[in-house]
Amino acid sequence: MKKILALAVVAWACSDKNVEKRDSCVPVEQMTVSSDCYDGTGGLLLTANTPTSIGLDWAIAPLKDTSGAQTYVPYYASSTSNQLVLPDSIVQKYPKIGVMYVGAYGCPSDIYFSFVRRVDKDSCTRWYLQERFVKHE
């Protein structure tokens, strides 16, 4: 009888009337790319600023030119952290990489990011953030 009474008290204490539901969603608002020279052998490291997320889903748009005007075939990936290494098979072929979506399940992704490849004065190939904007505004 004590177990039933204890369960009833716990159920009453955890009911919607007494416990405020909290949304722990932290949307991605910033993204960085590795600043190291890209040599074509280790992929490209993307890092999202969502430290509370255990894992993220990503929708990547490899683009054939830096204007982003043409269509693309999306690359979908999941990561177990806030980082994703894009494979060289994508990074080497395209001068611009768009991130159409990055977020945790049930967490909105309203910001689009794009990165472009540039060869610096020191002959080092690096990727730089080109665009960051809120979608649908």
Q: Could you tell me if 57 and 82 are in contact, meaning their C-beta atoms sit under 8 angstroms apart?
A: no
Return the percentage of the chain with pLDDT > 70, whole number: 74
Q: Angle 99-114-135 (CA atoms, 0-180°, nearest 5)?
A: 65
The CATH architecture annotation of domain 22-134 reads Sandwich (2.60)
At 48-60, the pLDDT tens digits run: 987 666 788 999 9
At 45-88, the pLDDT tens digits run: 999 987 666 788 999 999 987 665 666 789 999 999 889 999 99
Locate tokens 């190939």: which residue? 125
DSSP tally for the chain: helices H, then strands E: 2, 8
Delimit the domains of the chain by residue range.
22-134
Instruction: Look up the pTM and report it.
Output: 0.75
